[in-house]
Structure 1
Amino acid sequence: MSLYFHLRAVPPSALRNSANWLQRLFEDDWDTVRRRIDRHREEMLDHHYVDHDTLYAGAPPHRTKEGPGGHVILGGRPVPHHDPEEPPFLLLTAAQVAQVAVFLISADIEALWRGVRDDLLPRYGGPQTEQETHALFTATHRDLTAFYTQTAEYGDAVVKCLLR
């Protein structure tokens, strides 16, 4: 079974603090979502989403749980899923999204990579795969920066969900 971490931009006026509404937000096709919330922006991360969180929030013992770096991937206010076996949805306010966008725009991806490369490379095949692994993290950083920047420009919130 493949796991994906799905981030979706939502105008604050359309956002509902309901697990059922949030579930539908991720079950509906893109066109339905676009009609319901008036626009559509999203980002999907594969099962390596925790590694991307490590890149931004830092590896232990220097992990940042709060603040922009900690909010990029796994941060946000949890909203319990209606199925207790499922992880909660995570919500970032428009203000938090703006802080994350500023963080990502100003982040030095090379410095972030150097700080976690020794922790991450073994999971991707070791030092011989560094060029490809680094390129993957750089491309994802570029995509996340674009997603959060555009979302902040619209003044939108972000809802996150782990999908199987």
Structure 2
Amino acid sequence: MSAYLRLRAVPPPALRNSSTWLERLFDDASETVRHYRDQERIYAGACPNPLARDRPGTHVVLGGRPVFRADRRKPPLLVLTAAQARRVSGFLAAADFDTLWDFARDAVLPHYGGATAEPETWGAFAAAHQELKAFYTHTAECGDAVVKWVPED
């Protein structure tokens, strides 16, 4: 699954359990839209404690509580609580990107030109990892929740 992910940090008291309200968070054309195509492959299966129930690595890109939209054919919006966002931030702060890359490279590289394109592909994924890390660090420092929109293809 490839994802183009849009993220928004939201103070928990402002959150609404309404897909219409959550969709409006993304209406502002001036927002920075973050595109993380295939980034979820970097974090799939990555967890410092494999016995942990709430694996923060799985929440980085595609995790969260689904809020279903009126049109059920569209993918749901995803919401991470402030506590989950803090755990994701901690996971990303402790994660070694090269280790994550080594785990995922065989699944990722065929989609981006194979081994000959590895330096550029590694660079793009490393940059996206740093952006996600910065986003979640700032979000955790503010005590915010995270709303995610994976737009339909």
**CA 1:153 to 1:73, structure 2 compared with 1: closer, same or farther past 3 Å?**
same
Q: Which letter does structure 1 place at the counterpart of 2:45?
A: G
**Alignment match, 2:140:** 152
Structure 1: runs of 5 or more not aligned: 32-41
Q: Which letter does structure 2 place at the counterpart of 1:4?
A: Y
Secondary structure of residue in 2 paired with 1:44: coil
Moved over 4 A (4+): none
**CA 1:43 to 1:154, structure 2 compared with 1: closer, same or farther past 3 Å?**
farther
Q: TM-score, normalised by structure 1?
A: 0.82
Deviations 1:31-75 (A, max 9, x none): 8xxxxxxxxxx65124x2xx211111238xx9x994210000000
Matched, 1:44 2:48: no
1:10-49 correspondence to structure 2 within 5 Å: 10-30=10-30, 44-46=34-36, 48=37
Q: Cα distance, 1:121 vs. partner?
A: 0.5
Secondary structure of residue in 2 paired with 1:75: coil
**Alignment match, 1:80:** 68
CA distance in 2, matches of 1:70, 1:107: 13
Deviations 1:103-126 (A, max 9, x none): 001101000000111111010000
Aligned length: 146
Q: TM-score, normalised by structure 2?
A: 0.87
Structure 2: runs of 5 or more not aligned: none
Structure 1 stretch 127-136 or stretch 78-87: which is displaced more? 78-87
Pick the aligned partner of 1:135 from 108, 114, 123. 123
**Alignment match, 2:43:** 56
CA distance in 1, matches of 2:142, 2:67: 23
Q: Which letter does structure 2 place at the counterpart of 1:157?
A: A
Q: Which letter does structure 1 place at the counterpart of 2:125?
A: F
CA distance in 1, matches of 2:143, 2:109: 36
**CA 1:131 to 1:159, structure 2 compared with 1: closer, same or farther past 3 Å?**
same
2:41–2:107 contact (8 Å) kept in structure 1: no
Secondary structure of residue in 1 paired with 2:120: helix
Deviations 1:7-26 (A, max 9, x none): 11000011101011011111
Q: Which has the higher strand share?
A: 1
2:17–2:67 contact (8 Å) kept in structure 1: yes
